[in-house]
Structure 1
Amino acid sequence: PGAGLKGSKDEFLSQPPGRRALIVGAGPLGNYLLGLILFYVLFVSGLPTLGTTIGGFIDDYPAKESGLQIKDKIISVDGQKVNSWEELTSVVHPRPNEELRVQVERNSDILEFNLMTKDKKIIDLSGKETTVGLLGISPDNSDLFIKKISPFAAVKESTQTVYEISKRTLLAILNILLGRLSLKDSVSGPVGIIYFSTQVARKGLNHLLFLAALINISIAIFNLLPIPVLDGGHLMFIAVERIRRKPLPLKVQENFAKAGMVFFLALFLYLTYFDIWKVFFK
């Protein structure tokens, strides 16, 4: 009986499927665009970036007994200059169990050390076990500099960042569904997000903007999942309608929506429980 339900001309269900799909997709698209704009603003105004100053050593790793000292600033690895901690790890991680020539700056002097990396097995976002090389050093979190790029380069950089975050988020969701990643360790609920946001806000506006951009991209992707009550669920119903050439009975849609609500209530309670445990008891 609900299959042929029609409202007035301006009501959502009265619109043709294509127009309804555009209306539904506008929400996630808005989140995507906002995330993209925030990343663009961050790259142009300057993103706080961690430098290469050593802040500590990890036990049982080569660096601790190598002669390196806390506050040494790493300037190159095997002749390749490194300006940020991200660049440093990108050089070291692909080289497990290899000897590296590390140059550091100490009190205006340039010193050189030969260090053997130690291998460590980790699970990457694709759910596969991979081996990375580690020196056993941790960064000095006070060594921050503002990394600025030109407005033109920021377009490419922000687009690439959104793409990488989207890819990693989708891989994480896939691996949670396949049981390769733990849901409680990979996803935060409202309590965890609020707690983490307050911690990030203390570090400054740029850090908070970065988190806001990240959350907007994640919301856009999550909202497109084909689950009833999400925009992705509505798009799924519209796709089925196009295939069947008529909408699903309203009762069927309502039952799917109820199942979706039960799922999200259970997910909310599950994540909230573990958020409280992680925030207050760990």
Structure 2
Amino acid sequence: MIFVIIAFGVLIFIHELAHFLTAKKLGVKVDVFSLGFGPKLISFKKKDTEYRISLVPLGGYVKMAGEDLKEERKGTPDEFLSQPPVNRAKIVFAGPLGNYIFGFLLFCALFTLGLPSTGTKVGKLLNGYPAQEAGIKSGDRIVEVNGEKIRDWEELTRAIHPHPDEVIKVKVKRDSQILEFNIKTRGRELVDLLGRKKKVGLIGIAPDASDVVLLRYSLPQAVIKAAEKVYFITKTTILAIFNLFTRKLSLRESVSGPIGIFYITREALSLGFSYFLTLLAVISISLAIFNLLPIPVLDGGHLFFIMLEVIRKKPLSPRLQENLTQIGMIFLLLLVLLVSFYDFLRFFK
């Protein structure tokens, strides 16, 4: 429980720190930068900013001068709303960008230090499928597919799936021997997590769950691997959001709220700290993308307001912005309550 709270606190803190640093760099006065929420425990003032450590250690917040539409403004250049639209957009965008960069750096560290993954040892074979018919046995370790060296089960899947109803060359290690098999895959149409139908090649094998390998890469390789991972998560998250709005994906089955994320995080921790850090990186990237949705109250909503201001050559009225923000807040609150209800049904049924 404590690890989960700290994890989300770290993500929120990084988000707010990015807002803070960008605001400072662009000459915007920051009245308060707080580590945590609620009543302040310790505080000190440096230049124009009060730095606080607050009671509830769930991230933090930044209060910039002149950002509140309800407050009376002095109109000085160091106020947020006195800044040109491009500067305000930079400050707003910095939060999601901070989460995005953090996720990428976390993956770089994980790929450098070692990331546990399911190995290529065959656990079970499906009766009547190509692998069994070709002579593959339980306990064989697959080392190569079509001349490509295979390190873990994810790479193995990626090597086999693109070849439905085609012959592939598979090398396995059995005891001390290297054996080669020509296997014709069985094409089957599957529906992925995003609701898309795709024909893939299958040979009818399942991994040995006890076979775990540690994948380590040099720093340049780790950067490339991290970039690939971030690209995949970004693409998957954007497609998932699009398919949710077009009703190709079910909200009930595809989205987790606070309860679901707590259980998933606890499960990741039980598997090992590296699994927990991997999940944290995924959540950080997904959170950055979600935050950029053009929903008032999110950073994407603020960016949308700024874009409208540039197009109209004048800002929306404070009252309209406030009303739209309240609608956005109600929408998000209802969404959280709904997915939390689905989480409750899923985990406590």
Q: Is the 8 A contact 2:89 2:303 kept in 1?
A: yes
2:271 is paired with a residue whose SS is coil
Letter in 2 for 1:119: G
Whole-angstrom distance in 2 between the partners of 1:265 and 1:58: 46
Greater Cα shift, 160-169 or 31-40: 160-169
Q: What is the CA distance between 1:157 and its match in structure 2?
A: 2.6
- Map of 1:43 onto structure 2: 111
What do the CA deviations read for 1:34-85 (whole angstroms, capped 9, x no partner)?
A: 1111111111111113221012234563435554332211123344432221
Whole-angstrom distance in 2 between the partners of 1:195 and 1:186: 15
User: What's the RMSD between the two structures over aligned residues?
Assistant: 2.4
Residue 233 (structure 2) aligned to one of 162, 165, 169: 165
- Following TM superposition, where does structure 1 have runs of at least 4 consecutive aligned residues deviating by more than 6 angstroms? 3-6
Q: Is the 8 A contact 1:53 1:73 kept in 2?
A: yes
Q: Is the 8 A contact 2:194 2:249 kept in 1?
A: no
Equivalent residues in 2 for 1:1-282, closer than 5 Å? 7-8=73-74, 9=76, 10-58=78-126, 61-64=129-132, 66-124=134-192, 128-281=196-349
Letter in 2 for 1:146: L
Shift in CA distance, 59/274, structure 1 to aligned 2, threshold 3 Å? farther
Whole-angstrom distance in 1 between the partners of 2:146 and 2:228: 28
Higher relative contact order (CA 8 A, sep 6+): 1
Q: What is the CA distance between 1:23 and its match in structure 2?
A: 1.6
2:293 is paired with a residue whose SS is coil
Q: What is the CA distance between 1:186 and its match in structure 2?
A: 2.0
The structure with more strand, counted as a fraction of residues: 2
Scaled by the length of structure 1, what TM-score is found?
0.89
Whole-angstrom distance in 2 between the partners of 1:124 and 1:179: 15
Shift in CA distance, 107/225, structure 1 to aligned 2, threshold 3 Å? same
Letter in 2 for 1:219: L
Q: What is the CA distance between 1:145 and its match in structure 2?
A: 1.8
Q: What is the CA distance between 1:178 and its match in structure 2?
A: 1.7
Q: What is the CA distance between 1:111 and its match in structure 2?
A: 3.7
Q: What is the CA distance between 1:113 and its match in structure 2?
A: 4.2
Q: What is the CA distance between 1:106 and its match in structure 2?
A: 2.2
Q: Is the 8 A contact 1:119 1:133 kept in 2?
A: yes
Greater Cα shift, 26-35 or 175-184: 175-184
What do the CA deviations read for 1:195-229 (whole angstroms, capped 9, x no partner)?
A: 01111111212111111111111011100111111
Q: What is the CA distance between 1:237 and its match in structure 2?
A: 0.5
Greater Cα shift, 109-118 or 205-214: 109-118
Letter in 2 for 1:275: D
Q: What is the CA distance between 1:156 and its match in structure 2?
A: 2.8
Greater Cα shift, 91-100 or 252-261: 91-100
Q: Which runs of 5+ in 2 are unaligned?
A: 1-68
What do the CA deviations read for 1:218-261 (whole angstroms, capped 9, x no partner)?
A: 01110011111100000100111112122111121122112111
Identity across aligned pairs (percent)?
A: 49
Q: What is the CA distance between 1:24 and its match in structure 2?
A: 1.0
Q: Is the 8 A contact 2:119 2:213 kept in 1?
A: yes
2:296 is paired with a residue whose SS is coil
Whole-angstrom distance in 2 between the partners of 1:188 and 1:279: 11
Whole-angstrom distance in 2 between the partners of 1:54 and 1:37: 33
Q: What is the CA distance between 1:119 and its match in structure 2?
A: 2.0
Letter in 2 for 1:250: P
2:337 is paired with a residue whose SS is helix
Shift in CA distance, 60/273, structure 1 to aligned 2, threshold 3 Å? farther
Scaled by the length of structure 2, what TM-score is found?
0.73
1:202 is paired with a residue whose SS is helix
Greater Cα shift, 100-109 or 162-171: 100-109
